[in-house]
Structures are given as C-alpha cells and as structure tokens.
C-alpha cells in the first residue's frame, strides 16, 4: 500500500482553479435584516435583495448547494405562508418547488400568530458557467399580510460551488 504526502497542490497555470469532484470550490454569502410584506392571495414574490446571492460557477459540471434562513412573521389565525427557491440566469427564472402547491415549505397559523425561520437547503445542477442569482420566494395564499425578514433578526443565504 502506498501513501502520497504533499504540502500543497497548485493548478498547472497561474490563477487556475483545481476542480476536485465533491470538494468546495467557492462559497458566497449574503445577509441582512431587511423585510418585505406580502399581501394575501398574491403570486410568488421575491424576498428583500439582501437575501439573494449570486455565484459564477467555474465549471459546467459543478453543483451549487444553496441554503437560506429567513425570518417569517404571520399575525392572525388561518393564514398560510409558503416559501421556495428560484434560480435566475440571464433574467430567466426557474422556481424549484413549482410542481408543489406550497413550494419547499409552508406554515398555516391556527392561533393568533406564528414566528419562524423559513429554511431551505437545495443542491442544484445548473450546467453553466454564467452568473446565477438564487432568490428566495414567498407566497401568502390567504387574506391579510405576512412579513418576511425583520430588522431585529439576521437572515442569511449561502451558495457553495461543489466540484463535479
């Protein structure tokens, strides 16, 4: 049995990227405390811009792992908040949970109010080296207004490129 010991691995050309399958190539994060209100009966809406993130993959075989935590606040009984994730490349947008009525997650209030962290984890295979913007999406399917984000609570979104 042989072992290989190295102190450092360098790409063949200066400034190159080593694309090792399954390894993290780059990480991009955005965060903030901005908020958005979503009226009842509306279509899927974007969250505030400080919870969107852009990444430019180094290879078409890369995968992008996206995760977000965004505060949600619903006041009043009988309200339904749903959340999802969309990918935008060159202005063309795809919502990942579009074949599901309530996207990637939802909550329905029974009592006076609910406060929660809307959370998503998704592994995307975008097959591009163009810049991708990942956009959290929200929908309020009942009457009234729900709030996404809060200036007293930090919301984050992270995108990691994984070598493919």
Show the tokens assigned to 105. Answer: 């997650």
Angle formed at CA 8 by CA 7 and CA 12, multiple of 5 degrees = 145
Helix (H, G, I), strand (E, B) or coil at 49: helix
Q: pLDDT tens digits for the chain (164 residues)?
A: 888 887 766 666 666 666 678 899 999 999 988 888 888 877 898 877 888 999 999 999 999 999 999 988 888 788 888 999 999 999 999 999 999 988 999 988 887 778 888 999 999 999 999 999 999 999 988 877 888 888 888 999 999 999 98
Show the tokens assigned to 61. Answer: 């075989």
Q: Could you tell me if 85 and 134 are in contact, meaning their C-beta atoms sit under 8 angstroms apart?
A: yes
Q: What DSSP string runs through 59-115? A: -TT-EEEEEEEEEEEEESSS-EEEEEEEEEETTEEEETTTTSTTBTEEEE--SSEEE
Show the tokens assigned to 147. Answer: 């709030």
What is the predicted pLDDT for the residue at 72? Answer: 87
Closest CA to 104 of 93, 114, 118, 87: 118
Show the tokens assigned to 56. Answer: 């430019």
CA distance 96 to 126: 12
pTM, two decimal places: 0.86
What is the predicted pLDDT for the residue at 16? Answer: 64
Residues in the chain: 164
Q: Tell me the HSE value of 69 on the side-chain side, using a 13 A CA sphere.
A: 8
Q: Give the dihedral of Cα atoms 33, 43, 84, 26; nearest 10 deg.
A: -60
**Which domains does the chain carry?**
24-162 (2.60.120.1340)
Residue 53's H or E segment, with its range, is strand 53-55
């Amino acid at each position: 049995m042989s072992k290989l010991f190295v102190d450092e691995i360098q790409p063949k050309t200066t400034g190159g990227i080593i694309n090792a399958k399954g390894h993290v190539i780059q990480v991009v994060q955005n965060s903030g405390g901005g908020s958005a209100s979503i009226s009842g009966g509306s279509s899927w809406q974007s969250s505030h811009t400080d919870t969107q993130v852009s990444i430019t993959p180094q290879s078409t075989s890369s995968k992008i792992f996206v995760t977000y935590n965004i505060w949600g606040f619903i006041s009043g009984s009988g309200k339904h908040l749903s959340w999802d994730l969309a990918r935008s490349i060159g202005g063309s947008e795809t919502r990942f949970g579009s074949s599901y009525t309530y996207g990637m997650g939802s909550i329905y209030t029974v009592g006076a109010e609910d406060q929660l962290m809307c959370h998503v984890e998704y592994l995307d295979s975008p097959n591009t080296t163009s810049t991708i913007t990942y956009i959290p999406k929200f929908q309020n399917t009942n009457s009234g207004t729900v709030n996404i984000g809060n200036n007293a609570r930090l919301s984050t979104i992270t995108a990691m490129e994984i070598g493919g």
